[in-house]
């Protein structure tokens, strides 16, 4: 008969391993309170995305803090709004998102993009930097640090150029020239399901305006791959390429023709710019050419709490016990 409660040899039923599942993810999508269900959690704070100008809006910062202690009382949560857009002057930054008050976790709002005005070409600094405006000297915004700066919360925007705005920086990568938006950050490896954010990604940069490049046939490819086809074969066919926003809720730039500059080339359908997706912190997409530039998306707070353990009955040998301890399934 096994010795109940022993730590070696055969292990009895009152000291059995627990089968732990995936963590429980709770998304707080509006300002209010979070009611803790555990004493510690992984807390992910995503700020609001920056608005678009002629460049793409920078994504809201994404801050991840593991093993964060939780009180027994409700925790105040502020969800940052997306920044407003403007094609003439620099767009507005997104607002900060904050979890808690005693030891708050703060993510900084994404940087607003630069505009077409000669005094406001520069993208603004933020959680991720806004893209520079449509000028060769337009500098992007930088990513700023947070009070939990041990892990990177965002990246810089892309530099503007003549006739093209820079892409907004993302939480997973920098924006680039010719409207290329920075990628967001995937939270799936942390245990966040794909139904949160854009397939589990948050913090995608907004796409900047691009006057010179792109052709009708390449638009779908550019959108699907989120890459640039440089120096398109029909340089005057489209006023700019339909660049998609960065994965993670980044807004797309508009596409279409301003008055036909090349009569032998068929017109392309106009696609309006899109805003950053709500509760992703995505930057807004630029709409200078055929529409209106768009605002950034609001932020979100995600709390990952340990899954409840399921006790198993029976007897376990030392090898099974060791594997359970190594896998944190032993109680």
Which pLDDT tens digit goes with each residue over 41-61? Answer: 999 999 999 999 999 999 999
Confidence class for position 196, pLDDT limits 50, 70, 90 = very high
CB 207, CB 249: distance < 8 Å: no
Span 68-86, average pLDDT: 95
CA 94 → CA 48, 82, 88, 130, 281, distances in Å? 4, 5, 18, 10, 8
pLDDT given for residue 245 in this prediction = 87
Least confident residue range of 2-16, 124-138, 226-240, 313-327? 226-240
- The number of residues making up the chain comes to 331
Is the confidence at residue 32, as pLDDT, over 90? yes
pLDDT given for residue 316 in this prediction = 61
In a 10 Å sphere around its CB, with 0-12 CB exposed, 13-18 middle and 19+ buried, how is residue 220 labelled? exposed
pLDDT given for residue 312 in this prediction = 53
* 234-239: long-range contacts, CB 8 A cutoff, minimum separation 24: 234/262, 234/265, 236/261, 236/262, 236/265, 237/262, 237/265, 237/266, 237/268, 238/214, 238/268, 239/211, 239/289, 239/290
pLDDT given for residue 177 in this prediction = 86
d(CA 213, CA 318): 66
150 compared with 274, residue with greater pLDDT: 274
pLDDT given for residue 270 in this prediction = 55
Confidence class for position 214, pLDDT limits 50, 70, 90 = very low
pLDDT given for residue 89 in this prediction = 82
Confidence class for position 75, pLDDT limits 50, 70, 90 = very high
d(CA 148, CA 129): 18
CB 190, CB 64: distance < 8 Å: yes
Confidence class for position 220, pLDDT limits 50, 70, 90 = very low
Query: Where do runs of H (alpha helix) occur along the chain?
Result: 219-225, 318-326
Least confident residue range of 21-25, 159-163, 198-202, 242-246? 242-246
Confidence class for position 290, pLDDT limits 50, 70, 90 = low
Closest by Cα among 6, 122, 99 to 53: 122
Confidence class for position 238, pLDDT limits 50, 70, 90 = very low
pLDDT given for residue 8 in this prediction = 46
User: To the nearest whole number, what is the mean pLDDT of the chain?
Assistant: 78
Is the confidence at residue 127, as pLDDT, over 60? yes
Is the confidence at residue 303, as pLDDT, over 50? yes
d(CA 113, CA 125): 9
């Amino acid at each position: 008969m096994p010795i109940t409660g022993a730590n070696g040899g055969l292990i009895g039923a009152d000291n059995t391993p627990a089968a732990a599942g995936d963590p429980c993810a709770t998304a707080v999508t509006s300002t209010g309170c979070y009611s803790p269900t555990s004493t510690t959690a992984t807390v992910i704070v995503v700020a609001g995305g920056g608005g678009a100008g002629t460049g793409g809006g920078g994504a809201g910062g994404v801050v991840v803090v593991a093993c964060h202690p939780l009180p027994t009382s409700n925790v105040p949560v502020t969800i940052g709004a997306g920044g407003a857009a403007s094609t003439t002057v620099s767009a507005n930054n997104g607002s900060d998102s904050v979890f808690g008050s005693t030891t708050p976790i703060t993510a900084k709002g994404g940087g607003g993009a630069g505009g077409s005005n000669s005094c406001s070409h520069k993208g603004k600094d933020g959680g991720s930097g806004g893209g520079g405006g449509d000028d060769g000297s337009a500098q992007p915004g930088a990513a700023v640090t947070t009070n939990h700066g041990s892990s990177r919360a965002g990246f810089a925007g892309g530099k503007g150029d003549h006739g093209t705005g820079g892409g907004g920086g993302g939480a997973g990568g920098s924006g680039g020239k010719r409207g290329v938006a920075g990628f967001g950050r995937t939270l799936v490896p942390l245990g966040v399901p794909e139904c949160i954010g854009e397939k589990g990604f948050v913090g995608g940069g907004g796409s900047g305006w691009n006057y010179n490049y792109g052709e009708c046939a390449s638009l779908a490819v550019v959108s699907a791959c989120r890459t640039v086809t440089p120096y398109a074969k029909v340089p005057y066919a489209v006023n700019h390429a339909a660049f998609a926003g960065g994965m993670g809720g980044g807004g797309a730039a508009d596409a279409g023709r301003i008055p036909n500059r090349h009569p032998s080339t068929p017109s392309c359908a106009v696609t309006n710019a899109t805003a950053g997706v709500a509760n992703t912190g995505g930057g807004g997409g630029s709409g200078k050419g055929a529409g209106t530039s768009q605002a950034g998306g609001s932020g979100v707070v995600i709390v990952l709490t340990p899954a409840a353990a399921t006790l198993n009955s029976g007897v376990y040998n030392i090898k099974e016990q060791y594997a359970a301890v190594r896998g944190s399934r032993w109680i």
